[in-house]
Amino acid sequence: MFYFWRTGEMGELWLSGEGLRDAFSRMHPEGPECSEVILLADRDTLNASFVREPGLTPLAMATAEADFREFALELGFSDIQAGWTRQGGLGESLAASSLARNPLAWGAAAWVLAAAILMGLSGALLATAWGVAAFAAAALFTTERGDEIRRWFQKRLGKRSGGGTGAS
């Protein structure tokens, strides 16, 4: 994904979070893995996430954060944040043993069974579609990613509606 960053004499500057992550990873292959770089353009903040591997020392974590700050400062960013995530991902969190211990999974399974019995398959699918739509709408207005998506759509719609001649 490309993020709008600045407008200057030469035009608009767009950055790729993936490109920044790859460039940093090539410069510092020995450190912890940089899993994601996000530009929070409304705050001019560059946010990097690193994978916290088992056995990683606080010194190694501080070094990785300092290396990223130095990398970002050289690119012209002034507000830089770094965070850490656990290793593993969706595959690890969706493992059968972890799902069996998750109350949310048991509640979802009971809901699916009750919905299929009481409403039939088509009713259960319709209820699920409404639930997914409600979740998507809520995420669009309550998350940073949703804010980015809304700004992108507003910018696209603004360019289309503002580009006409207005002649009737």
Domain coordinates in residue numbering, the chain: 1-87, 95-162
Q: What is the pLDDT of residue 95?
A: 60
On the 0-12 / 13-18 / 19+ scale of CB atoms within 10 A, 46 is buried
Q: What is the pLDDT of residue 5?
A: 60
Q: What is the pLDDT of residue 168?
A: 46
Answer yes or no: CATH 3.30.300 is held by domain 1-87. yes
Distance between CA atoms of 108 and 94, rounded to whole angstroms? 14
Those residues of the chain that have pLDDT short of 50 are: 168
Could you report the per-residue pLDDT of 115-149, keeping only the tens digit for each? 889 888 888 888 889 988 988 888 888 888 888 88
Q: Are 49 and 36 in contact (CB under 8 A)?
A: yes
Q: Are 67 and 98 in contact (CB under 8 A)?
A: no
Q: What is the pLDDT of residue 165?
A: 53
Q: What is the pLDDT of residue 67?
A: 92
